[in-house]
A = this chain, B = another copy of it.
């Protein structure tokens, strides 16, 4: 079917159906707790289950075939679609790709992957790896000789990247540590110069060095909590809040969200976080729903640091493929992370044994009235008459926050009544800083690859490249791309630099490929220690036809982050993004048909401070 079959009749039918059932099932819904448990059971009771060291590295929905799904959606009375899961597991030091039929409780396929790269390590693996230094005599000596208290040391496992080595056959991580003495903002107190290399399969230390020794940056001034601040404070502002006395204007029906002219499905994936599917917009001129976006999500987040020191050169992180949003998504705090009118949504993920783990308040959804003007005109050109018509702008925001270690990414999808989808990411959290011997910039005689933020502390220069997967289905699947002027904010790394070979797909701000079900993740499936041989950069060179086809846009939002003192000890949010704006899609401005809301008056309130 063409997605324009989502007409308003269908919409209302579904809506009525919902009020009778608690929640409608949708084939794109993420795995439920009981499905995750079923997967565990199916695999453990199979030939694979006899092995003790089986770990589930990725557990997610096996995407339904697109044509099958669209056809099924156009006629929901047919037999339910098969419900399948895609699992990446480690077993006897091998990577298995397993597809499971959930309803049938059977393994559809099991294949061993022999290419470059490894699956995302599990959180349990990271934790175990991070604990190894604490019983390692050389590490204890390094801590002791710095005069530090071992109980105040915290360590974390980082991906090691790939720098042209022949295949070594080992799945590794590097451990670097910080000191939480005197502050909970331990990222500001790096145990600089000390790095531990770990074999993640053997869970054993492979290498260790303690290369340099610099003063530990001060704890003073690093705690960001209100309770730890001393006067003088900023001039305080009074609280303000949003009220909707007539109620919210959106509905959440299972994973389908409907607001104003928009309808879309909100999913969650352990690797990429929020997935917007089947976004369609009601066209008041045509009186029907028209499809816009089949699927949209952040397919990868490449963060190369630009410091050549032994402890730093390897830090070229792929936050989706090497870490995953499953690990980094954090509960949102009402009234601060999301305004008082927000609704919060929980999700379930699988741990490394495929036990379901509930993650609370992972999404919030709220209507935003930011004080902007949707459209207006004052006409003073008619003698003896003034015409003034103004619409205040209201939009719907879906938000998730991923705290990938030190960094907090605020991931927003904003739906506007103009038919636009605005995709915004805010960068905040804590900088990854480096300990240096300097206390003042005038002491610096070498390239420190960054900015001195505080005594003995530099913010290392780095980039963020968020590559969005956007399978646009504008009025159906046959779409073409018309190039308009572009400005590219691309990598500073040279093309033959190994991290850049792995992240080459982020070189262009925009790429277009024909839809291919297997081309989901820009950095490839096995990003950890990948060699860049199976990424969007490679796929896009196949010279396939993209004219009047089912095409996918890959849009990269890039930030060159030269840090400044204002980033210390916590970063003011830095925002970037893009807008998918309709152009000659509607016959006329759809906002014209947005009737003003009923006025809201609050004549009679008491409040408590």
Contact = CB atoms under 8 A, between A and B. Distances in A.
| Residue of A335, A372, A608 with most partner-chain B CB within 10 A | A372
A169 interface: no
A335 B599 contact: yes
A8 B339 CA distance: 32
A23 interface: no
A333 interface: yes
A550 to B, nearest CB: 24
A426 B387 contact: no
B586 A565 contact: yes
Contacts of A339: 369, 371, 392
| Residue of A185, A383, A389, A403 with most partner-chain B CB within 10 A | A389
A215 interface: no
Contacts of A589: 566-572
A410 to B, nearest CB: 5
Contacts of A564: 582-584
A158 to B, nearest CB: 12
A353 interface: no
A393 interface: yes
Contact of A234 (B284, B573, B605): B284
Interface string A333-360: 1011111111000000000000000000
A602 B595 contact: no
Contacts of A242: 240-243, 369, 371
Interface string A569-594: 11111010000001111111111111
Interface stretch (A49-57, A246-254, A294-302, A536-544): A246-254
A20 interface: no
A376 B429 contact: yes
A177 to B, nearest CB: 11
Interface band, chain A: 35 or more
B373 A337 contact: yes
A271 B598 CA distance: 38
Name A's interface SS: loop
B381 A154 contact: yes
Interface stretch (A106-114, A219-227, A308-316): A219-227
B234 A418 contact: no
A394 B573 CA distance: 13
A16 interface: no
Interface in A189-241: 221, 224-226, 229, 232-241
A186 interface: yes
A391 B408 CA distance: 13
Given A377-B428, A604-B606, A260 B240 contact: no
A381 B429 CA distance: 13
A137 interface: no
A596 interface: yes
Given A234-B284, A376-B337, A394 B240 contact: yes
| Residue of A287, A342, A593 with most partner-chain B CB within 10 A | A593
Nearest to A327: B380
Contacts of A234: 260-261, 282, 284, 417, 590-591, 593-595
A379 interface: yes
Given A564-B584, A568-B588, A589-B571, A408 B377 contact: yes
A542 B382 CA distance: 46
A269 to B, nearest CB: 20
A609 B410 CA distance: 35
Given A336-B596, A376-B408, A377-B430, 19 more contacts: A154-B381, A224-B389, A232-B287, A234-B261, A239-B245, A239-B246, A330-B380, A336-B373, A339-B371, A339-B392, A372-B426, A373-B573, A374-B572, A375-B428, A375-B429, A375-B572, A419-B566, A565-B586, A566-B583
13 contacts: A156-B381, A178-B381, A180-B382, A234-B594, A239-B598, A242-B369, A378-B403, A420-B572, A564-B583, A566-B586, A569-B592, A570-B592, A572-B591
> Top 10 closest A-B pairs, CB basis?
A370-B370, A239-B597, A237-B249, A336-B390, A238-B246, A605-B605, A239-B600, A330-B378, A564-B583, A245-B607
